[in-house]
Amino acid sequence: MASPKKYYTVTAVAVFVIVSLIIFSLNFKSPERMNFLRKVVLEAVVPLECAVDSVFSSVAGAWERYVLLVGLERKNRELETEIVSLVRDVSDYREMSLDCARLMELMNMKNDFKFPTIAARVVGRNRSSVFKTVLINKGTADGIKTGFPVMGTGGVAGRIMETSRNASKVLLLVDYNSNIDVLVQRNRCQGVLRGCGSSGCELRYVQRSEDVKTGDVVVSSGLAGVFPRGLLIGKVAVVEKGEAGLFQKIMVHPATDITRLEEVLVILRGKEDNG
């Protein structure tokens, strides 16, 4: 239903038109009466014209603001799209920078080995609670063979357990099936490092009489012909001698963060090579 204000406006416009027509017709009959009526009409029309001008001005101002807002909205959308693109570029550049930093660290380690090495990227991970393995993107086509040592940025990560032409599976040193001949660097006592899953590794067969302390560095012994001698394995985290038994219970924290492996360095050597 139309509002009363709308009816008032229509009525006022109609009256204005009718009065104008009357004045126009009388203009040819009586100039005296015309002057009087013209004055009356002018007095009546001025407020109406002011109201109409005000309406038109308001409409024009509203339209200009609408056009401005539409332009601003379009500009905001363009800026938001540009910001998203820039954020994505920054993220990509940051990833590239981190990749380069890790690869540089691996390449610096490369100079420490007398054997040739090859860098590989981790492309898969076994997340089960039993097996701790990763898949890398290099295989027999790159000269990789079963048993080759695998290094992370901090130290030994594991060894190659399976190979195909373009991929290899790495048995991580924390896997329960992993056993590495090692020695404590400070006092040269020897033992076997066995994987313990998420708990890290256990240094086994170290007699109770041996002086092993928390923080001692553990390195590969070079025995068994798998790992070259002196590769960094980790540090002693816990030492428990207990009241009985022949051996100490020693837990070792790996030097390489196994959970964050992204790139590795495979040492190309065979079991026949002696460290």
- Answer yes or no: is pLDDT of 195 > 90: yes
CA angle 256, 259, 264 (to 5 degrees): 55
What architecture does CATH give domain 112-275?
A: Beta Barrel (2.40)
pLDDT band for 272, please (50, 70, 90 cuts).
very low
Q: Which residues contact 174 (CB under 8 A, 6 or more apart)?
A: 132, 195, 196, 197, 198, 200, 201, 254, 258
Burial 49-61 (b: 16+ CB within 10 A, else e): eeeeeeeeeeeee
208-251 pLDDT per residue, tens: 889 999 999 999 998 887 888 889 999 999 999 877 778 999 99
Give the separation between CA 116 and CA 145, rounded to whole angstroms. Answer: 13
How many whole angstroms separate alpha carbon 205 and alpha carbon 200? 17
pLDDT of 142 reads 93
Of the listed ranges 44-58, 107-121, 231-245, the least confidently predicted one is 44-58
pLDDT at 186 over 90: yes
Q: Domains of the chain: which residue ranges?
A: 4-66, 112-275
